[in-house]
Structure formats: structure tokens, C-alpha cells
Structure 1
Amino acid sequence: MFPYSISVFGLQINLYGILVALGVVIGYFLVLRLAKREGLDTKAVDNTFLLAVLFGIIGARIAYAVEHPYEFHNILDYVAIWKGGVSFYGGLIGGIMGALIGIKLFGLPLWKSADIAAPAIALAHFFGRLGCTAAGCCYGKPFPYATSNEVGIHFTDKFPFFYIVFPKGAVAPPYVPLYPTQLMEAFGNLLIFLILLFIYRRKPFDGFVFSLYLFLYGTERFFFEFLRGVTPPLPVIGLTWNQVVSLVLILGSLLLMFTLRRVPSEGLYDRL
């Protein structure tokens, strides 16, 4: 809704980038705090975090390029991440790969590290979706019960009880009442963060918090995807590729919970 925040010497500073960076920084400090509570080597955690962020950025860009090939015409388009265009699921997969490399290189416990990362991912994603709201990306389908097309947030008596209209200059189509999918997911992620933080102190085994995160976010994203207007459904199955990945996360999380409950964490780590 506010694609640009301030202008410095004629240079527009993108609010989306500011919010994403803020999410990463806050996520880092949360990871560091939980790591200290677990007695982990903070230097190893720092290095692993950097690898996760680096691989996450690469994965997010690759996944977006695969999903939107028509936007890329030369090699520079693929590396011009400053122009926007990233996929959360690609970033999540890339980030997990980077974290696994760091965990192996620096000798961190796998499932304790995963449990530490899960609340931070949810919290950082909350800020990321606020950034999406600012830029207008990841917008929803047209809201059928709108009574106004004035720019802003409008409340209604129909689910989700408010809709959003973006101005000219945003990624979303201007002056079109849309489902507020960015804000819906942002506050969904905030709720997931609070649940994970509550469960963290009471987790029955290492890896439970991470598994729960995969289940909760996969479920959230699967249903919100029906309201999103960005990704078209795949032929035959009628679901978007994000919904397919969400189903994989949900099933994988349940399998992971069952496995970790029956197999000691260290034994499963050795197998990986």
C-alpha cells in the first residue's frame, strides 16, 4: 500500500526491503537468544544463520524464476533481485539447505537448532508479509462484496471482514478491491510465532517445534492460497504449486513428529 517510504536525494527507499531486513535482524536476535538458552556455540550459530540466509535468498529467487519464467529474458534478470520477485517456499527450502550445511560444518545439534529456527522464521515472515502489503505483491483475488474502490483498508461484514485497495505504483492492480491476503498471512504468521514460542518451553522432544511449524504454516498457506490472485492453479489437479508444497509440508511434518517421537534425536541425526 506504501511502495516507497522516504526519498533521500531523489532515491526512493523501498519499504518492502526495509521490513524484510527488519524481519531478518529480529529473527537473528531471537535465534541468538534461544541458542544461548540452549547453551549452543553462538559463533557456530552466527555462521549457520548467515549460510541459511544466503541459501534462502538464492532458493527464493530460483523458485520465483521457475514459477514466473515469462518475466526473465536474460541472465541479468535472474540476478536482479533488487527489482523484486522471490518465493517464500523457495526461500524456506534454500534456507533449510544452508542451515543443514552449517549445522554439519560447525557441529550443532540438528533438532535443537531446528526448534530454535522455527519461531524466528515465523516472526521474520510476519514482517515479510507486512512488506508484501506495502509493495502490493502477493495480492489476493478481487473481493466480491466491496462497496468502495478508494485506496486503503475497508471493513465489511463478509469474511475476512476487511478488504484492501492499492494505489497506482503498487504491484497489485490499482483501485481494485482485493482480498487482503498479505495481511491475513502476516497475522497468521504472528499467531504461529506465539504458538511456537509457547510450545518451545514445553516441547516433548527435540524437533517437535520445527515439525509443528511446518504443519501450521503448511495448513495456513494451503487455505489462504485459494484467495490469492497471483499463482494460477496447475492443470488437472486445480491446485497451485504452493498448495502442493503445503500438502507435502503437512504430511512431512506429521511423519517427522511420529519418527522423532519413536527414534532418539541423536540416532536420527546420525542417519542424516
Structure 2
Amino acid sequence: MRPVLFSILGLDVQTYGVSKALAALVAAYLLGRAFERAGLKKESAHALVLWATVWGFVGAKLYYLLEQGGDLSLHDLGGMGFTWYGGLVGGIIAASVVIRRHRLPLGVVAGAVAVPLSVAYAVGRLGCFFSGDGTYGKPSTLPWAMTFPNGVVGTDVPVHPTPLYEVLGALAIAAVLGILGKRLTAPAVFGAYLVLSGIARLLVEFLRTNDTVLLGLTQAQLWSIASVVAGTVLIARKGPSRPVAKTAGGSDLTRAGASAA
């Protein structure tokens, strides 16, 4: 594990921070392409990613600090310690403001962000893995169990490498969403993201050591259940794409976009 990639003039460049920057760049690139295919401006995609990233980090840090309560330390106030669902809330609020200011169609944007969000999450989780930030799982005797002796939160006991599980899960979700994008309306694609990512986080939490808060479930699992419910409602309301009609000249005329608004 390498929590610090290198140093410049005494300033450490952390693996965790670099991975998050790369995640934002990947998201901006993928969302820019998705916007262009939808006839929207690429610049709007970049603004959306920028502000959602900034306020996502603010939300993630605030949520994490609230979780710690009176047990705060200088480590908590530093560059580590973020909560994903706090970041999601902060990012959604910032994205809503950008969507309104740029007068973007909410349904189309929701469908466009699903795959970039999932891929960016995978890139970010790679940073968690290589920095050994402590988000790994319980002790395990499985052949692929790993130790993190040099991590930010080190351990010499073989544990579940849960960040890698999440990387693989997020990439699989992105692939599934790419397929569903041809069958569902844009809002329903985002609903599918909420369902699939919620299920993935719900399951991986069973392998972690986080404290339970209600009915034997962790905070992350409760948020995951809420995500699954919200996504299911969204899919039920928006449903599959409308059938593709044929024009008099025999060319395809899709009407799915009309239901995405």
C-alpha cells in the first residue's frame, strides 16, 4: 500500500486525493460525451461535475464529522474521513443548482450521470484500496484476503479487501446500466443506478466492521435501503422506453426521449 505517492517540496501527494481527482476527471469526460449525444453542451457537463464534486466532498466531510460526535481528532479533520452518502446528498444539491441555472432537462441529465457516477466511484475506491484507508472488511481466511500493514489505517491481519469488491461491483453496475440505457427511459436508468448501487453497498457492509444503529443494520445499510426504495419507485413511475416507431420513409423514430423530461 502507498498512502503517499510522492512528495514535492516537502508536500505529500496522497494516493487518496489523486484517486478522487482522477474520478472527477473520468466523470467529466464520460458525462461530457453523454451530454453531446443528448444534444446538450459539454461545458454544462463539466460545470455539473465540478460543483457536484466540490460540494460532494463538503457533504461527505460534514456527514463524517457528525458521525464522529465528540470523538473528533486532528486525523478526522484532515484529508481522510469521508462518508459516501453525505457526499451523494451534497452532490445532488449542487447538481440541482447547476441543472436549474443551465436550464437542463432533469430527466435526461439523471440518465446521463448514472454510468459516469458508477465508473467514478470505482476509480475513487481504488484510491481507498491503495491508500489502505481503513474501509476494508472483517478478518478473513479466504485466499484473496489481504493485509494492509503500511496503510493509513494499518492491519497485519488478513481481511476482506472490500474496496476491491466495490470497484468490481461498480464497474459491473456501469456495464448493466449501459445495456439498460437502450431499454429504459433516462430517469428509469438513474432509478436502476440507485437500486443496483444500493444493493451493492448493502451487501458489502455485511463484510465490514461498522457499528449497527437499527435492526442490526449500519447507517450505510439504512441509506442503501432508502436508495433501493427510491430507485424502485422511479423505475415504476417512468418505466421502459416507448416502442420505436417507423416513419413513412422507413427510418426509426424513437419517442423514448419524450418520456425522459
Hey, what's the Cα distance between the residues in 2 that align with 1:36 and 1:23? 20
- Corresponding residue for residue 107 of structure 2: 111
Aligned-pair identity in percent equals 32
Is residue 238 from structure 1 mapped to residue 216 from structure 2 by the alignment?
Answer: yes
The Cα of 1:62 is off from its aligned counterpart by 1.4
- Corresponding residue for residue 152 of structure 1: none
Give the gaps of 5 or more residues in structure 2.
241-255
Match of 2:201 among 221, 225, 234: 221
Q: What is the root-mean-square deviation of aligned Cα atoms in Å?
A: 2.4
- Corresponding residue for residue 203 of structure 1: 183
**Secondary structure of the residue that 2:145 maps to in structure 1?**
strand
TM-score normalised according to structure 1 size: 0.83
Change (3 A) 1:257 1:110: same
- Corresponding residue for residue 13 of structure 1: 13
Give the gaps of 5 or more residues in structure 1.
147-155, 157-161
Change (3 A) 1:56 1:266: farther
Q: Which amino acid aligns with 2:65?
A: A
- Corresponding residue for residue 150 of structure 1: none
Hey, what's the Cα distance between the residues in 2 that align with 1:185 and 1:45? 25
Range with bigger deviation, 96-105 or 42-51: 42-51
Hey, what's the Cα distance between the residues in 1 that align with 2:9 and 2:260? 55
Hey, what's the Cα distance between the residues in 1 that align with 2:50 and 2:163? 26
The Cα of 1:68 is off from its aligned counterpart by 2.0
Q: What are the Cα deviations for residues 42-90 of structure 1, in whole angstroms up to 9, with x where unaligned?
A: 33333333221222111111111122224436xx988x4x521111111
Residues 35 and 45 of structure 2 are in contact (CA less than 8 Å); yes or no, is this contact kept in structure 1? yes
Residue correspondences, number: 246
The Cα of 1:206 is off from its aligned counterpart by 2.2
Equivalent runs, 1:90-109 vs 2, <5 Å: 90-109=86-105
- Corresponding residue for residue 139 of structure 1: 136
**Secondary structure of the residue that 2:212 maps to in structure 1?**
coil
TM-score normalised according to structure 2 size: 0.86
Hey, what's the Cα distance between the residues in 2 that align with 1:48 and 1:172? 33
Match of 1:84 among 68, 72, 80: 80
Hey, what's the Cα distance between the residues in 2 that align with 1:17 and 1:179? 23
Residues 111 and 265 of structure 1 are in contact (CA less than 8 Å); yes or no, is this contact kept in structure 2? no
Residues 15 and 134 of structure 1 are in contact (CA less than 8 Å); yes or no, is this contact kept in structure 2? yes
The Cα of 1:265 is off from its aligned counterpart by 8.4
The Cα of 1:172 is off from its aligned counterpart by 3.0
Residues 185 and 260 of structure 2 are in contact (CA less than 8 Å); yes or no, is this contact kept in structure 1? no
- Corresponding residue for residue 46 of structure 1: 46
**Secondary structure of the residue that 1:207 maps to in structure 2?**
helix
Change (3 A) 1:60 1:25: same
Hey, what's the Cα distance between the residues in 2 that align with 1:184 and 1:227? 10
Change (3 A) 1:182 1:103: same
Hey, what's the Cα distance between the residues in 2 that align with 1:268 and 1:12? 45
